[in-house]
Amino acid sequence: MSGAVYQVHWTPGSDHLVGVCHCGAQHVADDPIDVWAWLLAHPAGHGDAAGDDERAPREPALTAAG
């Protein structure tokens, strides 16, 4: 895939992160694990237009580390 630029905007005044895929689709999340997982899953879950797949906010994700 060429020209892939993923963007994540933290909406001022909120806790929301808006992920913008290189295909134009957008996704609102409340933690960065979620937003990166969605972006990198392209095209899965991206639909055919921007603004799809807006899910309910979740608690911040716990991830294993070591």
Partner 1 sequence: MQISTAIAREQWYVAAYSSEVGEGLFARTVCGEPLVLYRTADGRAVALADRCVHRRFPLSQSNRVGDDIVCGYHGFTYDCSGACVAVPGQTRIPRTARVRAYPVVEQDTFVWVWIGDPERARMEDVPRAPWLAQDGWTTVCGMEPLAARHSLLLDNLMDLSHETYLHGGYIGTPEVASTPINTEADEDAGIVRVSRHMDDAACPPFYSESTGLSGRITRWQDIEFRPPCLYQLHSRVAPVGVLPEPDGTDLHAFHVEVVYALTPETENSTHDFWAVARDFALGDERVSSFLAENNRTVVLQDVACLNTLEQILQTDGAAYQELSINIDTGGLAARRMMARLVDAPAQATVVT
Residues engaged in binding partner 1 (CB under 8 A): 1-12, 15, 17, 31-33, 35-36, 40, 60-66
Phi, psi torsion values for 60, nearest 5 degrees: -55, 145
Choice between 31 and 53, CB closer to partner 1: 31
DSSP of 12-49, one letter per residue? TTSS-EEEE-TTS-EEEESSHHHHHHHHHTTTTT-TTS
Closest separation in Å from C-beta 11 to partner 1: 7
Choice between 11 and 24, CB closer to partner 1: 11
CA distance 50 to 48: 7
Choice between 4 and 49, CB closer to partner 1: 4
